[in-house]
Amino acid sequence: MTRPLIGTSWKMNLTPSQATLWFESAIPGLTGLHDRDLFVLPPFPSIPAARAALQDTAIAWGAQDVHPDDSGAHTGDVSAAMLADLGCRIVEVGHSERRRDHREGDRLIAAKITAIRRWGMRPLLCVGEPTRRPLDAAIHVVQRELRGALGALPVNELDQVIVAYEPVWAIGVGAQAAPLDHIETMHAAIRAWLDRRGAAATPVLYGGSVDPENAGPIARLQHVDGLFVGRSALDPAAFVRIASVAVGERRGT
């Protein structure tokens, strides 16, 4: 990992019309950031707006979920084939809200990751402990989620995955980002788990109440490879500020 990776998932926000306005505002401030990689994951209906706005830029677009099957009687679901046809390059899976609201477990998440890779896209796997707890206990939870979702993947496939560490207690209105020492320790533990499997190129992002004020200190931590931004990014000016932060030395440079 030699280039920072910074992106956003809008969750269930911004209609296609609003997304078009977001891109018109944000793109001028993002296109000059040549030393990092950027991505945006809008809701399904706004993916065509993302494609129209971003197809002539280096900014990737993607989706927030996928069904593990390529087609079939799955009313209301969206397949990896459909997302690939829309030019998506990154697909998010395993977010704590999906685990909570849709009862998604590791087996389903692993099947979704297989489908994403089958269609040549990069899975972005979210992991994180649900409540504040001692570091050893938090590491145990996160490593269990990593094993459940990624344990069966070969090394060459692991290198195509993005991991986002998002402590659930640091997500949502009124929450605050995890302390820097907590983030660094958790990222180091995730990196160690990946390294033991030979996955040296898998980026590990931090997500959880990232904002323009804390983005720089978090991004400069040794084991943080980038940022995954939620509600702050709904303001395009705020996302430009976050995406533009000074970052630290990358591993491998």
CATH number, position 234:
3.20.20.70
In angstroms, the CA 59 to CA 233 distance is: 15
- What 8-state DSSP symbol labels residue 172? S
Main-chain dihedrals φ then ψ at residue 32, nearest 5 degrees: -90, 0
The model's pLDDT over 69-122, given as tens digits with 9 standing for 90+, comes to: 999 999 999 999 999 999 999 999 999 999 999 999 999 999 999 999 999 999
Tell me: pLDDT of 60 over 60.
yes
Tell me: pLDDT of 2 over 80.
no
Q: With a threshold of 0.85, does the pTM exceed it?
A: yes
The model's pLDDT over 121-169, given as tens digits with 9 standing for 90+, comes to: 999 999 999 999 999 999 999 999 999 999 999 888 999 999 999 999 9
* Helix%, strand%, coil% for the chain, nearest 5: 45, 15, 40
Q: Which residues, other chains included, contact 96 with Cβ-Cβ below 8 Å and sequence gap of 6+? A: 126, 128, 130, 166, 168, 171
Residue 10 lies in a domain: yes
Q: Which residues, other chains included, contact 190 with Cβ-Cβ below 8 Å and sequence gap of 6+? A: 127, 142, 143, 146, 163, 165, 204, 223
Residue 251 lies in a domain: no
Token pair for residue 10? 């809008």
- E strand or H helix at 227: strand 226-229
Radius of gyration for the chain, computed over Cα atoms and rounded to the nearest angstrom: 17
Domain total of the chain: 1
Q: Which pLDDT score is estimated for 252?
A: 47
Residue 252 lies in a domain: no
In angstroms, the CA 132 to CA 114 distance is: 31
Tell me: pLDDT of 250 over 90.
no
Known catalytic residue at 95: yes
Residue 183 lies in a domain: yes
Task: Evaluate whether 10 touches 43 at the Cβ level (below 8 Å).
Answer: yes
Residue 123 lies in a domain: yes
The model's pLDDT over 157-213, given as tens digits with 9 standing for 90+, comes to: 999 999 999 999 999 888 999 999 999 999 999 999 999 999 989 999 999 999 999
Beta bridge partners of 93: 125
Average model confidence (pLDDT) across the chain: 96
Token pair for residue 240? 């430009």
The model's pLDDT over 233-248, given as tens digits with 9 standing for 90+, comes to: 999 999 999 999 988 6
Residue 208 Ramachandran class (φ > 0 left, ψ -120 to 50 alpha, else beta): left
Residue 250 lies in a domain: no
The model's pLDDT over 4-28, given as tens digits with 9 standing for 90+, comes to: 999 999 999 999 999 999 999 999 9
Spot the catalytic one: 92, 129, 166, 223. Answer: 166
Residue 249 lies in a domain: no
Q: Which pLDDT score is estimated for 173?
A: 85
Cα distances (angstroms) measured from residue 219 to each of 10, 18, 224, 245, 249: 20, 28, 6, 8, 10
Spot the catalytic one: 67, 95, 187, 223. Answer: 95
Range of the domain at 193: 5-243
Which amino acid, one-letter code, is at 32? Answer: G
Known catalytic residue at 166: yes
